[in-house]
Amino acid sequence: MTALTVSELAPDRMDAWDAYVAAHPNGTFCHRAGWKPAVEDGAGHRAPYLVAEDASGIRGVMPLTLRKSTLFGKALISNMFCVYGGSLVSDAEAQAALDDAAWSVATENGIGVLECRTVAPAHSGQAGWHSGGAKAATFIRDIPTGTGDEVLLSIPRKQRAVVRKTLERDLRCDWSPSLRLVYDLYARSVHSLGTPVFPFSLFKALAEAFPENHVLQVIYAPDGKAVASLFSFHDGKTVLPYYAGGTVDARAYGAHDYMYYQLMLWARERGIKAFDFGRSKVGSGPYSFKKNWGFEPTPLEYEFRLANGAAMPDLSPQNAKFALMVKVWKRLPLGVANLLGPMLARHLG
């Protein structure tokens, strides 16, 4: 076996990176190389994606993003703005090499936290590594093939009744809305939750990084008003509804229920087999919402490597440190929140 080296991903090696991710049993859309330019151009962070390889080819990859924030702290995250992350490797040597290289990036930048967004821990019992605990879960389920009725019948009875009602309300799903409209509806939603909105530049950069792998939706009420939106990713095997937004009227119309059902139908028509509902905190409203759709939670066991004296990060809105900020943010005029929010939210992905 030839010598193993670790280097940062070069622009001309992105296709090779994606081929390795696609072939790896644990590869996800969140490991794709396109996140690197999207995060760098759209959120202004450095993203040193690491590749372990020898003369035979790639033996491991690790997407990374450097966060340096006075308010939210410093961290090296795999993978920022993503549900999933951590390294993908072919062998233990590649794992060790990527871990060492990532920790070198952290220490060189004065960072004491390396966060790996793994589904299952890869470093149990190793010195310096800690589990974040299963505080959140992801929700993935197969999409039934066949007719639209089969998709509807796969939804549990109570939630199926909700979806049926939305189909009687003369809602309309637009599959070619402007990115700006999708973003504006998303901004309204996060403002109502007391959360700063991500930069529009991030949405734009993601759409440009994955031109063939994203889909936009806007749901219109019977009166013609846009009430809900969704920015989703897909990779031929899985569709991932990612950024959902809506107005205060969305709930009354059941617009989100209608929107997700339409996405399931859209995915099924294109031969996509799985629906990944994404991450939700255990015990939260979205967690219960996804279970109501018949999705079973898979615990997310994120891992953290901590320098001596470093504390486990907690950027949850439930953190007392940010509780006042959430209350104040909800009261800000939407225009002001959308102006100030991106400067903060780019550190929260």
Residue-wise DSSP of 254-304? THHHHHHHHHHHHHHHTT--EEEEEEEETTSHHHHHHHHTTPPEEEE--EE
Rounded Cα–Cα distance for residues 123 and 266 (Å): 39
Return the percentage of the chain with pLDDT > 70, whole number. Answer: 97
Mean pLDDT score across all residues of the chain? 93
Question: Is pLDDT of 317 > 70?
Answer: no
| Residue 211 confidence (pLDDT) | 98
Question: Is pLDDT of 1 > 60?
Answer: no
Query: Angle at Cα 117 formed by Cα 187 and Cα 114, nearest 5°?
Result: 105
Split at pLDDT 50, 70, 90, the class of 314 is confident
Question: Is pLDDT of 2 > 80?
Answer: no
The values of phi and psi at residue 242, to 5°, are -115, -60
| Residue 336 confidence (pLDDT) | 87
Mean pLDDT of 192-210: 95
93 and 4 Cβ atoms separated by less than 8 Å? yes
| Residue 320 confidence (pLDDT) | 67
Q: Residue 36: in which H helix or E strand, if any?
A: helix 35-43
Split at pLDDT 50, 70, 90, the class of 170 is very high
Q: Hey, CA dihedral for 83, 276, 183, 192, is it positive or negative?
A: negative
Rounded Cα–Cα distance for residues 256 and 306 (Å): 39
Per residue in 120-154, pLDDT (tens digit) is 888 988 988 998 888 899 999 999 987 768 999 99
Highest mean pLDDT: which of 68-77, 263-272, 316-325? 263-272
pTM of the model: 0.93
Cα–Cα nearest to 108, from 145, 68, 69, 79? 68
Rounded Cα–Cα distance for residues 96 and 101 (Å): 9
| Residue 149 confidence (pLDDT) | 86
- What are the residues facing 241 on neighbouring strands? 232
Rounded Cα–Cα distance for residues 61 and 33 (Å): 10
| Neighbour count for residue 155 (Cβ, 10 Å) | 22
The answer to which of 65-74, 100-109, 178-187, 320-329 has the lowest mean pLDDT is 320-329
Split at pLDDT 50, 70, 90, the class of 205 is very high
| Residue 343 confidence (pLDDT) | 87
| Residue 71 confidence (pLDDT) | 83
Cα–Cα nearest to 86, from 135, 76, 111? 76
Q: Is 115 helix (H, G, I), strand (E, B) or coil?
A: strand
Return the percentage of the chain with pLDDT > 90, whole number. Answer: 79
Question: Is pLDDT of 252 > 60?
Answer: yes
- Identify the structural domains of the chain with CATH numbers, from first to last: 5-135+301-313 (3.40.630.30), 144-272 (3.40.630.30)
The answer to which of 57-61, 246-250, 307-311 has the lowest mean pLDDT is 307-311
Cα–Cα nearest to 111, from 24, 48, 189, 173? 48
67 and 112 Cβ atoms separated by less than 8 Å? no
